[in-house]
A = this chain, B = another copy of it.
Amino acid sequence: MSIIEKDAIIFHPIGHIRSPFDKPEGMPIQPAGAKDIEGHIELYAPLEEGLKDLDGFSHIILLYHFHGNSEFSLKVTPFMDTEERGVFSTRAPRRPNMIGMSTVELLSIEGNVLKIRGVDVLDKTPLIDIKPYVAKFDAVPATRFGWLEENAEKSESLKSDGRFV
């Protein structure tokens, strides 16, 4: 299915995420399954000033481009399930706008390099944004988790089989 070619929004990478995963096969599918995996962010040096004060936060939210994908599907069978689900009820990469989101632990910042832990992304993934993780904003009193109610636990052990690339 082709994307709706209307009102383009143009972003540019602010840097790259470096990780031990150079291919999707065998990669953890969520930070919960990558607790001990360390990696780092190489922020474009001219943006370094924007990192001021970030070292006060224990966790950060990364938004990035699922750059290995080009086509999207409105229904996908997620790693954690055997049934087809609407793509917006999943975290699958093959979505109309291929944007990924991971909350990771921030270990240190040196210049334009951020050491992080809990990395579930491919090496050299283009980074779009960094936001501070703030429990007050980001941990909400949710009560229902749909098909992930019983399946989210699997994210700790499941690895990618590369089906989305």
**A134, B145: Cβ atoms under 8 Å?**
yes
Report the interface size for chain A: residues with CB under 8 A from the other chain: 74
- Contact partner of A53 (CB less than 8 A), chosen from B11, B54, B86, is B86
Query: What is the 8 Å Cβ interface bit string for chain A, positions 67-103, against chain B (1 contact, 0 not)?
Result: 0000000110000000011111111000111010101
Provide a sorted-by-A list of 24 A–B residue pairs whose CB atoms are within 8 angstroms: A4-B44, A6-B13, A7-B126, A8-B11, A9-B128, A11-B11, A30-B137, A50-B74, A50-B75, A50-B88, A57-B89, A57-B145, A58-B142, A59-B140, A88-B129, A88-B131, A91-B134, A101-B101, A101-B131, A133-B140, A134-B152, A135-B139, A135-B152, A136-B145
